Amino acid sequence: MSVLGVDIGGSHITTALIDLQSRSLVPGTYHRERVNGKGTAAEIISSWSAVMQQSMQGTHKVGIAMPGPFDYAAGISLIQGLDKYDALYGLPVKALLAEALGIQPEDIIMNNDAACFLQGELFNGAAKGQRNVLGLTLGTGFGSAVATEGHAEDASFWCRPFLASRAEDYFSTRWFITRYEALSGMKEENVKNIAALADTSAAAAAVFREFSANLLMFLQTITPQPSMIVLGGNISHAHALFLKSLQLEGTQIVLSELGEKAALLGAASYWG
């Protein structure tokens, strides 16, 4: 059975047909396009459905990884004031997409994007065969999901109180840029650039040491402790600068095996 996997971000959409038996992407069906997240509702739905149709190849089952806040069961967007998809607030997104694709709303399963990331790693990635796992996506935001008995659900750790504010303020790209500027007086636009400076810049190296210490402190507060933690997102690409410092007794901390494909596989696997 093949299912259309869809990963929707704030500025892009990625789609691919997923073969649930082989647990892999069907060759030639992968598509990724930019989307104007500040467009009208009609423009956004049209953009999404056009890319999805490029990958569908006749399938009628769709799994979508979608950022929150969102009423996933009803298919209604609750995103507001986040600089993306404001035009969809309160609208029946699942029904609108089904109409655009010529399928029924019940042919679409929507889930939280962080949960889909972890479900993908459980389905055929770093966490395959594991039961109790934590997944973290470290990037423009701080995504989190927990899996008990192999089923992933959104953990919403981003809003947990931590140090002077909340977790997302310490485990996202924004923190790296702000902290590096505070220590060096220089501004870099992304974590990749700061990581490239770590060998020659004391400030850049200090930022990663502080990030690692903060993340370890946060992980130690999680109960019960998972048997495995899977790290994904753009910040995880700089793992050489912080992963060795993350040591939790009884917990294996690993990197995503699937990368950007994880959410596609996870979203589709809910049909399995």
Written as tens digits, the pLDDT of the chain (272 aa) is 999 999 999 889 999 999 999 999 999 999 999 999 999 999 999 999 999 999 999 999 999 999 999 999 999 999 998 889 999 999 999 999 999 999 999 999 999 999 999 999 999 999 999 989 999 999 988 999 999 988 999 999 999 999 999 999 999 999 999 999 999 999 999 999 999 999 999 999 999 999 999 999 999 999 999 999 999 999 999 999 999 999 999 999 999 999 999 999 999 999 98
Hey, what are 71's tokens? 């009423």
Residue 54 structure tokens: 């490029």
**What is the topology classification, in CATH, of domain 126-256?**
Nucleotidyltransferase; domain 5 (3.30.420)
Fold designation for 2-116: Nucleotidyltransferase; domain 5 (3.30.420)
Predicted structure pTM score: 0.94
CA distance 7 to 35: 12
Query: pLDDT at position 24, please?
Result: 97
Tell which residue, 129, 154, 107, has the closest CA to residue 3: 107
Give CA 57 to chain center in angstroms. 26
SS3 at position 26: coil
Three-class secondary structure of residue 5 per DSSP: strand
CA angle 119, 120, 123 (to 5 degrees): 85
- Tokens, residue 227: 């048997």
* Helix axis angle, 41-56 to 93-101, nearest 10°: 50
What's residue 11's pLDDT?
A: 87
Can you tell me whether residue 34 is helix, strand or coil? strand
CB 150 within 8 A of CB 131: yes
Distance CA 57, CA 19 (A): 12
CB 159 within 8 A of CB 166: yes
**What is the location of CATH 3.30.420.40 in the chain?**
2-116, 126-256
**pLDDT score recorded for residue 185:** 98
Q: Who contacts 204 (Cβ-Cβ below 8 Å, separation ≥6)? A: 180, 184, 194, 195, 197, 198
Is 133 strand, coil or helix? Answer: strand
Give, as one character, the DSSP assignment of residue 225: P
> What is the C-alpha end-to-end distance of the chain, expressed in Å?
9
* Runs of H (alpha helix) within 37-86: 41-56
Please calculate the CA angle 219-224-67 and round it to the nearest 5 degrees.
Answer: 60
The whole-number pLDDT of residue 215 equals 98
